[in-house]
Structure 1
C-alpha cells in the first residue's frame, strides 16, 4: 500500500500550484498496486485572500482539474481543501477524494473554524469567510477504510473517535498549520490522534512563507497506529513516500482493544458525577 504526501508552498495561484502538483504526480513510478496521494489544506488558494472570494460550484473547474490528474496518473488523490460555494455567501473548505477513474469517492467539509490569535502577529478569523461542515466522512478504499479531517480539526479528539466508530483505519489530515502552533503542537497532536484512534495518520502540511507573509510549519507526518513517526517532510516543499502495513493496525488494536473498552461518561444521579 503506497502513500505519498505532497508538502506544498502554495502561493494562491491555482495555475502555478496545479502545475507543481502535476510535476510531482508525473514523477511517481507507476506500479500495479494502488497509490494514494494527499495534498495539504488550501492546496491551490493558500493566502490568496478571503476564502469565499475564490469559491466555485460543486464539481467546478479546479475540482475537475484534480479529478483529471487522478485519472491521468491512475491513482487515488485526496485534494487537500478547495473553496466550494456555500448557501450563505461563504465557502466550504472541501476536501475531495478522487479515484483512479476520476470519480469523486467522497467529500468532507472542514468542521472546526480557526478563529484564533497565536502570537505570530496575525489574527485568524476563518469563520468570517468559511462555512463549517456538519458531518464526518469515511469511505472504503483498497488501502482500508479511509476517514479524513482538516488542520484545526486535529485539536478535537471526539471527531477522530467518531471516525473510528465508523470503521476508519487510515485518517488523512490536509493541513496548513502556522509556524508558531506547528512548532509547539503539531507532532504531539498528530501522534496523539494516531495513538488514540489506532489508525495511520497521514498529515500533509503547507510549508514556508506565503503570499501574505504567513509562515506555515511543514513537517508533514506519517504516523503509524502505535504512534511512531515513520516519515517527516521537513520544512521545504517536496514529497514523502511510505508503504503502509495494514497488519500494524491489527496489532495495535489487538494489543490494546480501546474500542471494546470505551465507555461514554454521562450524567445521572450519582454524586460522583456532580461538578463541584
Structure 2
C-alpha cells in the first residue's frame, strides 16, 4: 500500500436523464483529479434513477457502453483510479447492478455485481424488490492497485458482515461502497453500518450515495462518508451534491491493529468464515 493517498467520493445528483448523469460524473471525476485525488468513487446507479422500471431502459452491455467509454476516457486522461459506482449492466439477457473498476490507464480491472439483491418490505414505509428485474452476482471482488488493495461491495451487500470479513482476509485495506440507502433505512442504519464495518475489520471504508432528490420515486438519503479503521468519520457529505475527500494512510491501519488486535484475537479454532464458491 502507498503510505498515503487522497480519495474522493462523489455524491451526485442523479436525474432521469442518462446523458446529463454521465456528463456530471465525468465533471466530478475531473474536479476530484484536479484536487489531487488519486482514486474516485461514484454512487450506486450513477447513470440511472434507482427504479426497477428504469433499469432495462438505461442498461448497457460492456461491449456497447457509452457510459463506461466516457468513464474510461476521463480516468485515462487524468491518471486516476475510478470505482464507477454502479450501472445497470446487460449481459446474456440478464440485468446486473454492476460496479466497474478502472485503473489509471482507463482499463477495466474488474467488475463487482451486487451479490445481495435489495428485496425488502417495511410496512407503511418502503417496499422494493430488485429481484424483479436484476440478477445477483456470485463473486467477491478484491482488486490490487498501486495505492492499496480494495474491496468493492454495492449498497445492500454491506449489511452482510461475512462478505467484508472475507475481503479483509484477502488483504483488503479499503472497502468501497457505492450505495443508495433510502429515507427509511438511511437515517436508521447508514452511518452505523459504515462505521461498524470499518471498526470490525480495522480498515478504511468509503460510501458514496446519490444526492437526495425528492422528485424521484426512490429518494436517496445522501450523507456519503469516509471512515477510518478506528470508526472515526473523516469526511461526510450532507444531502446535496458535493465531493468529499479524505486521506487514506496505511500507517493508521497498522496502528489500530497493533493497539486493538481484533483480527489476531479471533478464535479460529472455534469458528471460521470460509469462501465456499470461487468462480474465477
- TM-score scaled by length of structure 2: 0.88
Any idea what the Cα deviations from partners look like across 1:15-61, whole Å, max 9, x if unmatched? 10111122223333547x76000000000012352423432222422
Write the deviation string for residues 153-191 of structure 1: whole angstroms up to 9, x where unpaired: 111000001101111001100001101100011001100
Q: What residue in structure 1 maps to residue 98 of structure 2?
A: 94
Which of 45, 68, 75 in structure 1 is aligned with 2:73? 68
Partner residue in 2 for 1:140:
144
2:32 maps to what in 1?
Answer: 28
Tell me how far apart the structure 1 counterparts of residues 106 and 148 of structure 2 sit (CA, whole Å): 19
| Distance in 2 of aligned mates of 1:120 and 1:109 | 30
Which runs of 5 or more residues in structure 1 are unaligned? 268-276
Q: Give yes or no for contact 1:34–1:76 (8 Å, CA) kept in 2.
A: no
The residue number in structure 1 matching 2:157 is 153
Distance 2:139 2:33 in 1: 35
Q: How many residues align?
A: 265
Output the TM-score relative to the length of structure 1. Answer: 0.89
Residue of structure 1 in register with 2:276 after alignment: none
Q: Check conservation: 2:39, 2:81, Cα contact below 8 A.
A: yes
CA root-mean-square deviation = 2.0
d(CA) in 1 for partners of 2:184, 2:150? 29
CA distance in 2, matches of 1:5, 1:118: 29
**Pair 1:193 & 2:197 matched:** yes
C-alpha separation in 2, matches of 1:105 and 1:251: 30
Structure (1 or 2) with the larger CA radius of gyration: 1
Q: Which of 32, 54, 61 in structure 2 is aligned with 1:57?
A: 61
| CA–CA separation in structure 2 for the residues paired with 1:236 and 1:120 | 26
- What is the distance in 2 between the residues matched to 1:22 and 1:266? 45
Matched residue SS, 2:47: coil
Aligned twin of 2:48: 45
CA distance in 2, matches of 1:4, 1:50: 28
Deviation at 1:207, TM superposition (A): 2.3
In the alignment, the residues of structure 1 paired with residue 37 and residue 32 of structure 2 have an alpha-carbon distance, to the nearest angstrom, of 12
Q: Is the 8 A contact 1:2 1:244 kept in 2?
A: yes
Deviates most, 69-78 or 219-228: 69-78
Q: Deviations over 1:57-79 (max 9, x none)?
A: 22422211211111122211100
Q: Which residue of the other structure, out of 110, 113, 119, is the alignment partner of 1:109? A: 113
